[in-house]
Amino acid sequence: MGILDRSPVTTRSSDTETDAGENRPPAVRLDDVSHEYRLASGRFRSGQSRSLQALRDVSLDVQPGTIVGIKGPSGSGKSTLLHAVSGLLVPTSGTVSLLGIDLTELGDRRRAQVRRRHVGIVFQGFHLLPSLSARANVALPLVGAGVGRTERRTRATELLDAVGLGERTTHLPGELSGGECQRVAIARALVTDPDVIVADEPTGELDTKTGETVLDLLTELGRNRAVLVASHDATTLSVADRVLSLHDGQVVERDR
């Protein structure tokens, strides 16, 4: 068992009320989630503010050990859904729970805490800090978690090894290829050993071959975590156990 795996019995969430066992809540649960973005630009003549409905009554359960694919054309609400799951936005209505914790009831600070502890996020554009080495980028989430420097380095080095970048730890993002940057981003998402991994079009900027390496990694991660992966690419979606299709913010199909 490699460092990317985690044993199902080691879920160490001190936030969950339930004991480890059959009654554990789903890793991710959405109930009737709708989201309206309020548009800053102007108001209608009637005085009503303009808004855009990005999600409509989306419900979803994801158990640990499951990869759920989210597909849909551009603008269908995939990123909004993943932002709601990771607590980066609070939906206008409905509830989002992680390991039984209702994020929509929490204040900003506490919600950010839950996100840092339980969620690893992989973005399409990698979002690495250009002036930090691969290792420092991977170690960064541990700074906020109060982990000491030596342990941060050790953990980041182990993870870079695990994603095949053991020889690149001191490289800057600008000195790495797109596929390597995405693997650094995946290592960073894993460094806190999160229960939930959210990946927003993780292969969007990669060629087929490097995309495959990233998909192999995601499949491996999915073994004992809940993984949500948004994509409109069939190969990427093929790693999912279930696929949910969005159109105009609404679930139009659930297959598998």
- Chain residues that interact with ligand ADP, rule: CB under 6 A: 37, 39, 52, 54, 72, 74-80
Contact residues: Mg ion, CB under 5 A: 78-79
Pair 12, 194: CB distance under 8 Å: no
Decide which of Mg ion, ligand ADP, none touches 75; Cβ closer than 5 to 8 Å per partner kind: ligand ADP
Nearer to Mg ion, 25 or 75 (CB): 75
Pair 84, 235: CB distance under 8 Å: no
Nearer to ligand ADP, 69 or 77 (CB): 77
| Residue written as token pair 């953990």 | 155
Decide which of Mg ion, ligand ADP, none touches 202; Cβ closer than 5 to 8 Å per partner kind: none
Q: Smallest distance from the beta carbon of 78 to Mg ion, in angstroms? A: 5
Say if strands 49-62 and 66-71 run parallel, antiparallel, or are unpaired.
Answer: unpaired
Decide which of Mg ion, ligand ADP, none touches 54; Cβ closer than 5 to 8 Å per partner kind: ligand ADP
For 53, half-sphere exposure in the C-beta direction (CA atoms, 13 angstrom radius) is 10
Q: How many residues are there in the chain?
A: 256
Nearer to Mg ion, 78 or 168 (CB): 78
Q: Smallest distance from the beta carbon of 68 to Mg ion, in angstroms? A: 16
* Cα distance between residue 100 and residue 196, in whole Å: 13
Q: Smallest distance from the beta carbon of 123 to Mg ion, in angstroms? A: 9
* Cα distance between residue 69 and residue 10, in whole Å: 25
Nearer to Mg ion, 13 or 79 (CB): 79
Q: Which residues contact 251 (CB under 8 A, 6 or more apart)?
A: 58, 59, 60, 244, 245
Question: What secondary structure letter does DSSP report for 208?
Answer: H
Nearer to ligand ADP, 156 or 197 (CB): 197
Decide which of ligand ADP, Mg ion, none touches 52; Cβ closer than 5 to 8 Å per partner kind: ligand ADP
- Considering only CA atoms, which of 100, 99, 80 is closest in space to residue 90? 80
Q: Smallest distance from the beta carbon of 55 to Mg ion, in angstroms? A: 12
Decide which of Mg ion, ligand ADP, none touches 129; Cβ closer than 5 to 8 Å per partner kind: none
What is the enclosing helix (H) or strand (E) of 197?
strand 196-200
Nearer to ligand ADP, 110 or 247 (CB): 247
